[in-house]
Structure 1
Amino acid sequence: MVYGTGLRLDKWLWFARLAKSRSAAQTLCESRRLRIDGRVIDRASALVRAGSVVSFPRNDEVIVIKVEGLAERRGPYEEARQLYTDLTRNLGSRNAAPLTDAAASF
């Protein structure tokens, strides 16, 4: 993991395997449906930092995650899963599915 100042949000979503492709991550970022720490994001180049809370809609629920670290590459699922903590389940979401590439739909 990288412990730097920040990473482009679209790259981080792709590295964390929350988006199937980098272009899907860019589309989500530019859709104005994604928030970092409550702030609406409208560009893929927004920086995400460790400790940030990212939220976005997926199907009929809102996904809320806390950024735990930044990556240098897109690794396997086990490595990507260490980049964030899923706060959705802590909010009482019913039947929350694990966040994977296959589950993400933008």
Structure 2
Amino acid sequence: MTRPEAPGTVRLDKWLWFARFFKTRSLATRQVSTGNVRVNGDRVTKPAFALKAGDVLTFAQGDSIRIAEVLSCGTRRGPAPEAQALYLDRSPPPAPRPDPVAAPPRYDGGGRPTKKDRRDMTRMADASRRPLE
């Protein structure tokens, strides 16, 4: 038997799923249960926490921290534009990624030979085995 929700509220795990922050509701439930979600600065560990418009959520998603202000409770998990209308994203911009590290320069005789190096070595070896005319 499901517990009726107060008007204008929705379960926290359901809302995270409705807003498409998590792919499945069980992933959202696990994130809340482990204490990784804060509502208005307070840690929440109950997936059935009643969320209402105006609450601010803070949680980790991947390598970034997400901050979302709840604008609407929603009634279903709809398409992405509908999900994005449920919240206002207040997350800080992502940190710039460092430049990719360039491969170290190759030195003659150092490291594993490339395919071209092997062809050249084979050519030189074949040339040295030919009898002189």
Q: Classify the TM-score, shorter chain.
A: 0.7 to 0.9
Q: Which has the higher contact order (CA 8 A, sep 6+)?
A: 1
How many aligned positions are there?
90
Q: Does 1:47 align with 2:69?
A: no
Deviations 1:15-66 (A, max 9, x none): 1111100101100110101000001011100111100000001233211010
Determine which of 31, 47, 68 is the counterpart of 2:71.
68
Name the Cα RMSD after superposition: 1.3
Aligned match for 2:28, one of 21, 25, 28: 25
| AA partner of residue 8 (structure 2) | T
Higher helix share: 2
Runs of 4 or more, structure 1, over 3 Å off, are none
Question: Where in structure 1 are there 5+ consecutive unaligned residues?
Answer: 96-106
CA distance in 2, matches of 1:80, 1:14: 9
TM-score normalised to structure 2 length: 0.64
Using the size of structure 1 for normalisation, the TM-score is: 0.79
2:89 alignment partner, one of 86, 89, 103: 86
Structure showing greater radius of gyration is 2
